[in-house]
Amino acid sequence: MRKIIGNKTLVIGCSGTVGLDFIEINKDNNTLYFSRRKPKILKKKNWRYLDFNKKINNLPKKVDKIFFFASPYYKVKNLKKKIFLRELNWLKKITKRVNTQVFIYLSSSSVYLNNHPVGSSKLICEDYLSKSKKFSYLQIWRPYNLIGYKNLNLSDHFHNILIKKFCIEKKKIHRFKGSANDERGYSSTKKFCKLIKKKSNLKKNFIFDYGNSKTIKVFQIAKIFKKIFEMNFKKRKIKFIFNSNLENINTIKSNRVTKSFDTKENSYNIIKKYYLTRIGHHER
């Protein structure tokens, strides 16, 4: 086991979408990153292996900041409260071993959905952290629909289902359960990481929503995907159908008690760039 000396910031869960962009924007050499697999962009000296299912003995006793990005992966098969509540045990393992001045926790906008397995689990985790005595300040972020370009793993969010069905499974037609008029407001993960790093310097407790009120309808997302897909694979034509008329608008709200950051980014450009950088990687 390599000895940990002089690291002031810990990043727990650095191999996911948020973690990978955080690595890129963070220029602090006193940061130590933890995950089960080492991101290629990290130097070995700045990374440590961490598996929450095993004994943890490579953490420092005291640091200035902890960024906690670890969470069970968003897959349909994982959408059970007992699976996402594993995160509570992970938090307990970290907070019992490390004292810090500021704890930055990545929660989820799904806390606003009734009986959602992710949201209800995140609320329990937030409550646990709010009662902890192991840090001076707790900063909780509840982001909506973040898009990053470095993580090649595919979650089961709508924008990735298109890639799974048409690129990987090679379907010619697919029926979606939702409505063509469902709306999403996408935000850049990189911009999000810059903000949470900046705000972590504040000696304050807070909860912030983070999202984009400038939405895009899912049929527009599908059309962007179709255009780029058929441009790349000229002999393959695809078709999609939406089965529901019940609209679901998943975007940040400005009328809540919780403070919010509205990025007002261009959702069309964000999702277009995502597909331009992704489709080639996942074609089989």
Q: How confident is the model at residue 284 (pLDDT cuts 50, 70, 90)?
A: low
Sign of the dihedral defined by the CA atoms of residues 246, 250, 254, 256, in that order: positive
Strand 173-179 to 239-244 pairing? parallel
pLDDT digits (tens, 9 = 90+) for 136-170: 999 999 999 999 999 888 999 999 999 999 999 99
Please list, in sequence order, all residues whose beta carbon lies within 8 angstroms of the beta carbon of residue 173, skipping any fewer than 6 positions away.
238, 239, 240, 241
Distance CA 92, CA 222 (A): 41
Q: How confident is the model at residue 283 (pLDDT cuts 50, 70, 90)?
A: low
Distance CA 150, CA 166 (A): 21
pLDDT digits (tens, 9 = 90+) for 73-126: 888 888 888 999 999 999 999 999 999 999 999 999 999 999 999 999 999 999
Model confidence pTM above 0.85: yes
Distance CA 261, CA 45 (A): 35
Please list, in sequence order, all residues whose beta carbon lies within 8 angstroms of the beta carbon of residue 45, skipping any fewer than 6 positions away.
none
Q: Are 188 and 263 in contact (CB under 8 A)?
A: yes
Nearest to 189 by CA among 164, 162, 163, 155: 155
Q: Give SS3 for 183.
A: strand
Number of neighbours of residue 219 by Cβ within 10 angstroms: 15
- What amino acid occupies position 135? F
Q: Mean pLDDT across the chain, nearest whole number?
A: 91
CA distances from residue 215 to 149, 188, 267 in whole angstroms, order as listed: 19, 13, 6
Predicted pLDDT at 79: 83
Q: Are 206 and 34 in contact (CB under 8 A)?
A: no
Predicted pLDDT at 3: 46
For 11, phi then psi, to 5°, come to -120, 110
Q: How far apart are the first and last CA of the chain?
A: 40
Q: How confident is the model at residue 243 (pLDDT cuts 50, 70, 90)?
A: very high
Tokens of 109: 């906008």
- What amino acid occupies position 104? I
